Every structure is written in C-alpha cells, then in structure tokens.
C-alpha cells in the first residue's frame, strides 16, 4: 500500500526530497537506467522483454514517433497508436510508450520504478506530486503453455500471477483480494509437498500471488474476441529463471522442485474452471507493484512452447504481433473511457481515484 509518509500533506507541504543516491537523475533530467525524461513517456505503456521487440512494435504500430532511445540495452519508443480501420475502430489516437523490461523481475523492478518515478515525482524538486495520471501498463511477451489443450500461439490473458521470484517480497502491499491470500497458502503447501525430503531448501519457497486489474482483463478479453483472436484467461506462473526455475532439468545440479511445470499444470486453483495456463518471468512483480500503487496493470503473453507436448513454435512473431494489437487496442479503449484518470496521494484506494 502506498505510504502516506511519502506524499505531500493536506496543506500541500512537500515531503523531503529524494536523495541523489536513491533517485539518480543525470544533468539533463533523465532517470539513470532508461535515460529518459518524464515528458518523453506516456501514461499508456507496453512492456516487452526483448529490446528488439520494442523497436519492432514502434516501427509496426506507432506513427509520429517522438522518442526512440536505447541505453544499457533498454529501448524506449514513444509515438501515436491509431487503431482505425480493419477489424475494429478506436475512437481516438493514443500516445503510447513501449519500453524494454529486460529478462526477469530484477530487471523489470528497475524499469517499472523509473517509469513510476517519472510519472509521480517532480524531477526538478525530487519530491512527489500531490496527484498524477493513473498509469495503464500491459506486458506483452512470450510464455510456455502448461495445459495440453493449449495450442501454440494462444495468447494467455493473466487473471492472477504466481510470484515464484523474490522481488515482490521487498514491497509490502496488502492482498488485493481473498483469492490471493488463499492461493498463497495453498501454493506454499504445494511447494513443500513437491520437494524432495531432506532438500536443503524445503519450506523456503513461498510464492506470492498478485492480481491483474479486472477491468483490464475484461478489456483484453473483449478486444481479442472482436479481433477473432482465440485468447484464454488463466493464471500465470512468473518464475525467477528459465531452466530449473521452470522445471527444465538440463544441468548436472538437480532442480529443488522436480517437474515444476507438471506440478503447476495439475494444480486446480478453484477459480471457475481457470487453470495455471502459462509460465514466464515478469508478470508477478508488475501486477504486485503497480497494483499496490493504484495503477492498472495486466499481461497478455502468447504461448510459444507447450510443456506437456514438448513442442516449440519457431514462427512465433505473428502471435506476438496479434497480442500486441490486442494490447494496444485495449489500452486505447480504456483511455477513451477514462481519459482523465488520476491518482491522488497519499491514499491510492478507490475513493481517491479521479476519472474512473
């Protein structure tokens, strides 16, 4: 939950300025890792893991590009998405930023913090603003299917993300709902029961569970249906790595949780028929952190491998492009419905959300 002590008080008094060590800003007013100024980002953001994908999204979907910058392997492109014509029509063009998150939650933690800081903090004074636009952020990325019935290329719309990383554990946010709390308890038991007796790490893997913004989930589902894209809604397991962390046993060191992909595929979350549909490496922290701040976040990730059938889609770029179109049209639709949505510090709960 957002800390009132980190916000201006009711009389408009500023909090102490953030130090240069806590919030590095260069002499041009740019954040340290993205090397971008606040005016160069939009409140509607696509996050992709691959810097090359950020460039391709910018070239394929955005016009009137204002920013195309690369620093430390992190590509940021800001331009206009105009989803007119074709199978659906968006009423208004949308200024959109696509930026690189890198691989895994540790890299994403850096990028998302800098995006939030540029939105919420006055860079000149290094103090938090009294109010600021509500960010709408979508992750578009690749993932591995866990259910045998899922065809390669199927976009998975994340309803809840299971955090198998530990990045989210450093950010204290309340459970978004009772489902997150229940699943954390059940998945903790599942991890213990799935590990070998005598394992050095038995009982030390405690997943956390984050929730996608429900309005965003519904928007993605509706947009996919309009475009004829056969998406699925389900849970996403966000892992701290690619190999043993996702049940791949290729090293000479045994995995702590054998066949983790199978363990997750068989688990029933008891959510109206939803299953744990896919594995990737970023959604958990994105939803946990932004949700705790009151911003809206979601994820739609095509499946480019099926772990039950041990198959891989080498021609997955078309699936990524379709998911990107679904994501951009959803962002545009939501911003059209909530054009002036802002958050007010200190409380980020519903009564203090302006414009929806």
Query: Domain with 199 in it: what CATH number?
Result: 3.40.50.1580
Q: What is the mean pLDDT of residues 94-100?
A: 97
Helix locations, the chain, DSSP H: 51-61, 105-120, 178-194, 214-227, 260-266, 283-293, 317-337
User: Does residue 342 form part of some domain?
Assistant: no
User: Does residue 350 form part of some domain?
Assistant: no
User: Does residue 352 form part of some domain?
Assistant: no
User: Does residue 354 form part of some domain?
Assistant: no
User: Does residue 235 form part of some domain?
Assistant: yes
pLDDT tens profile 50-72: 999 999 999 999 999 999 999 99
Q: What is the mean pLDDT of residues 14-20?
A: 84
User: Does residue 15 form part of some domain?
Assistant: no
User: Does residue 1 form part of some domain?
Assistant: no
Q: Which domain holds residue 196?
A: 22-337
The count of domains in the chain is 1
In this predicted structure, what is the pLDDT of residue 85? 46
- CA 263, 269, 273, 275 dihedral sign is negative
Q: Which residues contact 101 (CB under 8 A, 6 or more apart)?
A: 47, 48, 49, 107, 108, 111, 112, 139, 282, 286
pLDDT tens profile 118-165: 999 999 999 999 999 999 999 999 999 999 999 999 999 999 999 999
User: Does residue 197 form part of some domain?
Assistant: yes
């Amino acid at each position: 939950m957002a800390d009132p002590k980190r916000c201006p008080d009711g009389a408009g008094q500023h909090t102490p300025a953030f130090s240069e060590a806590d919030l590095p800003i260069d002499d041009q007013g740019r954040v340290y890792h993205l090397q971008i100024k606040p005016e160069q980002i939009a409140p509607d953001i696509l996050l992709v893991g691959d810097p090359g994908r950020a460039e391709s999204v910018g070239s394929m979907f955005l016009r009137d590009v204002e920013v195309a910058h690369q620093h430390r392997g992190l590509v940021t492109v800001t331009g206009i998405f105009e989803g007119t014509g074709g199978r659906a029509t968006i009423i208004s063009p949308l200024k959109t930023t696509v930026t690189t998150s890198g691989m895994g939650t540790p890299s994403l933690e850096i990028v998302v913090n800098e995006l939030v800081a540029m939105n919420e903090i006055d860079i000149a004074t290094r103090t938090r603003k009294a109010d600021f636009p509500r960010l709408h952020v979508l992750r578009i990325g690749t993932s591995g299917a866990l259910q045998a019935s899922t065809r390669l290329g199927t976009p998975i719309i994340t309803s809840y993300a299971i955090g198998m990383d530990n990045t989210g554990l450093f950010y204290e946010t309340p459970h978004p709902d009772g489902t997150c709390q229940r699943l954390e308890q059940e998945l903790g038991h599942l991890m213990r029961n799935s590990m070998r007796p005598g394992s050095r790490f038995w009982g030390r893997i405690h997943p956390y569970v984050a929730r996608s913004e429900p309005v965003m989930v519904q928007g993605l589902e509706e947009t996919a249906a309009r475009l004829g894209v056969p998406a699925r809604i389900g849970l996403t397991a966000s892992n701290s790595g690619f190999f043993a962390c996702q049940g791949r046993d290729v090293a000479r060191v045994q995995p702590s949780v054998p066949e983790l992909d199978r363990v997750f595929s068989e688990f029933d979350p008891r959510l109206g028929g939803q299953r744990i549909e896919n594995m990737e490496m970023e959604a958990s922290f994105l939803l946990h952190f932004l949700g705790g701040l009151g911003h809206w976040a979601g994820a739609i990730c095509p499946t480019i491998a099926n772990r039950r059938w041990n198959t891989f889609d080498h021609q997955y770029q078309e699936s990524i492009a379709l998911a990107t179109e679904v994501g951009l049209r959803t962002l545009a639709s939501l911003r059209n419905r909530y054009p002036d949505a802002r958050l007010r510090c200190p409380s980020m709960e519903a009564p203090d959300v302006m414009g929806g």
